[in-house]
Amino acid sequence: MPKSKRNRPVTLSKTKKKGKEHKESIVNSIRDAVEKYSSIYVFGFENMRNLKFKEFREQHKSTSRFFLGSNKVMQVSLGRSAADEIRPGLHKVSKLLRGDAGLFLTNLPREEVERLFNEYEEYDFARTGTTATETVELKEGPLEQFTHEMEPFLRKQGMPVRLNKGVIELVSDFVVSEEGKPLSPESARILRLLDTKMATFKLHLICRWSPEDFELYREGLDGSDVESA
């Protein structure tokens, strides 16, 4: 009787080795990019949408390189202190890689980079837990935008609905979302059906480094620890 593949032991050292090799590959890629591009930016993001970010990245791959992932790995790549930084001043960049952040290495002029990031906004449907940007309330009466087949689904989302001669009706007013409050899974689904987008995928610049200078962009950032390091 053949042995089950499910019972085969997994050698953890192999998975650890692959993880280490992957990290080393990222470190080497970032260090190669530092030599290739004239300036480095740390950028932050809100409401990340992977497909839209991939499109943005593809648009600029001839002049630039993006890195997203482990902040710690990116910090190690650049150097976390003045003693181990790979280029003078890069430890200042490293210290600002925290939270939702990434690296943008480019040969584009500073003015062009600032314009690209400042203008970038993509609207999308909000996900569960997102804070509602507006109050959406449906009034009692027919919901002609929905076909009769959707009545069971809408009921499962907590909506007080019924079928009346093949038309879905709200038995009473129904609040889908309240401004300033987090969206429930049901609210997020209903807003998608209503084609109401409450999430904005944004990118913003945090700092810029070049061999000649270093600049902080974001107001409210405490640059004292960066400058004194």
Question: Tens of pLDDT along 11-26?
Answer: 445 445 657 888 899 9
pLDDT surpassing 70 at residue 168: yes
Domains of the chain: 22-124+199-225 (3.30.70.1730), 128-195 (3.90.105.20)
Question: Tens of pLDDT along 119-165?
Answer: 998 899 999 999 999 999 999 999 999 999 999 999 999 999 999 98
The model's pTM: 0.74
User: Can you list the pairs that 219-227 forms with residues at least 24 positions away whose Cβ atoms lie under 8 Å?
Assistant: 221/96, 225/95, 226/92, 226/95, 226/96, 227/92
